[in-house]
Chains A and B, each alone.
Chain A
């Protein structure tokens, strides 16, 4: 059931290494290029943010672990371009044609970058799913952190918070459900809540009795407690 990107609570990763205040935004030039290529190809409109996250998460555990951050981005992107039929395996290996691409009309031009980035892509949508929980109510997350629609599919309930008791802190409105949207099954918007969990609900040896972790969780991840 476990997936490699779902690392919250994991042991063995060593210290966090803060950076100097004047550290560059992109430590290497290619980091900026990787980010920019990823954003620019996203504007071709062939996938959504949940699909692109899922592409990175599907890197083999071996690759996911050994790749640096932007290597994951660029490798997930290459896989996605082929999966969505934008590029072929021949294209990637250098044996592709240079014929004009049918999607070329959609290319993001320099002049439209600032407008496109400023526009954003909100995830809230109207929904017919009735709101089931109110602020302050006790809830429990489903026992298994897994996509119910697609075996091995994308989900945003981390394993460390599965089967845990929490309470509703706030309602964020109704939002696109990643478990559906990552797999071409529609946006399926439903209520999204911030849910607070006592640290002792999640960890065997919490640091402090009053500490909490808050997660944003969709209604279908929750049950009444």
Chain B
């Protein structure tokens, strides 16, 4: 009987997930423990205000400003905070640089750790069992599923985010982007290129 299941009280809520959330929200609201308007505000923040455009701005700046890049690789937390990117799930940031010799890729095998202030809420695949299970063991096969094939001389370094450090990949600047201003360069930086499962777009 679910009502006797003291170890798993969630079984007392409706099984359908949308109804389960709604039921819990209703109970908490009635007791004054959550404010539905605050929930709307949280959703709006991560739907519309905080997203990969923040990380793209950091990457483009690193591409065009060597001193900034040096500071970023030395102490990213401070440098991105100075740009206004700090907060929940981004309290300790490390930026790792892709080179011809080394490609970086980020995963969280134990849950779904991700640099929220720079990239927003992680996409579904990042939180999937398949990505969590396989990225550490066969990163090249996973990359192939994203359409990325690395040259054999490039080593892959996979970062498993097991603590409160959040990693951002600094991808290599694509060929043909030299003459572009920072804004146009930022437009080439995809979310996946900052996780390491993709490469920046090449200017057309």
A interface list, Cβ under 8 A from B: 5-11, 13-19, 21, 23-30, 32-37, 39-41, 44, 49, 53, 56, 59-60, 63, 67-71, 74-79, 81-83, 86-87, 89, 91-94, 96, 98-101, 103-104, 107-110, 112-114, 117-124, 156-158, 160-161, 170, 172, 175-176, 178, 192, 194, 196, 202-203, 207-208, 210-218
CB distance from B190 to the nearest CB of A (A): 7
Total count of chain B residues near the partner, CB < 8 A:
86
CB neighbours of A82 from chain B (8 A): 9
Q: Is the CB of A113 within 8 A of B38?
A: yes
Given the complex of chains A and B, what is the CA–CA distance between A45 and B145 in angstroms? 41
Whether, in the assembled complex, B131 has its beta carbon less than 8 Å from a beta carbon of chain A, the answer is yes
Show 13 A/B contacts (Cβ-Cβ < 8 Å), sorted by A: A9-B109, A13-B134, A15-B145, A26-B43, A28-B18, A30-B17, A32-B46, A75-B13, A110-B37, A121-B91, A192-B165, A208-B156, A211-B156
A37-B28 in contact given A101-B33, A214-B158 (Cβ < 8 Å) = yes
Q: With both chains docked as a complex, state the minimum distance between the C-beta of A139 and any C-beta of chain B, in angstroms.
A: 15
Q: Which of B92, B94, B137, B197 has the most CB of A within 10 A?
A: B137
- Give residues 94-114 of B contacting A (CB, 8 Å): 94, 107, 109-112
Q: Is the CB of B88 within 8 A of A19?
A: no
Closest residue on chain A to residue B20 by CB atoms:
A74
The verdict on A75 contacting B128 (CB below 8 Å), with A56-B111, A101-B32, A175-B164 known, is no
- CB atoms of A156 and B133 under 8 A apart: no
Complex CA distance for A101 and B33, rounded to whole angstroms: 7
Q: Is A75 a contact partner of B111 (Cβ separation < 8 A)?
A: no
Determine if A8 and B137 form an interchain contact, defined as CB atoms under 8 angstroms apart.
yes
A49 to B91, CA, bound (A): 13
Knowing A25-B46, A44-B33 are in contact, say whether A37-B130 is a contact too (CB < 8 A): no
**Contacts A18-B146, A60-B8, A92-B27; is A9 near B136 (CB within 8 Å)?**
yes
Asked if residues A96 and B157 are in contact (CB atoms below 8 Å), the reply is no
Partner of A18, one of B30, B35, B157, B197: B197
- B42–A36 contact, CB under 8 A? yes
Say whether B180 faces chain A, with CB atoms less than 8 Å apart.
no
Residue pair A211, B157 in contact (C-beta under 8 Å): yes
Residues of A within 8 A of B145 (CB): 15-18
Residue contact B111 to A86, C-beta cutoff 8 Å: no
- Residue of A whose beta carbon sits closest to that of B40: A110
Cα A196 to Cα B102 with chains together (Å): 14
Determine whether the beta carbon of B12 is less than 8 Å from that of A68. Answer: no
Kindly identify, within residues 31 to 82 of chain B, every residue whose CB is under 8 Å from any CB belonging to chain A.
31-35, 37-43, 45-47, 51
Interface code B20-32, partner A: CB below 8 Å = 1, 0 otherwise?
Answer: 1111110110111
Bound-state CA distance A13–B31 (Å) is: 41
- CB pair B157–A212 under 8 Å, yes or no, is yes
Partner of A33, one of B30, B31, B39, B121: B39
In the bound complex, residues from chain A placing their C-beta under 8 Å from that of B94 are 170, 172, 194
CB neighbours (8 Å) of B146 from chain A are: 16, 18
B162 touches A216 (CB 8 A): yes
Which chain A residues border B6 with CB–CB below 8 Å?
Answer: 89
User: Which of B40, B87, B162 counts the most chain A CB atoms within 10 A?
Assistant: B162
Q: Which of B38, B123, B190 has the most CB of A within 10 A?
A: B38
Q: Measured between C-beta atoms, what is the minimum distance from A70 to chain B in Å?
A: 7
Tell me the smallest distance from the CB of B131 to a CB of chain A, in Å: 5
CA distance A102 to B28 in the complex (A): 12
Shortest C-beta distance, B149 to chain A (Å), equals 12
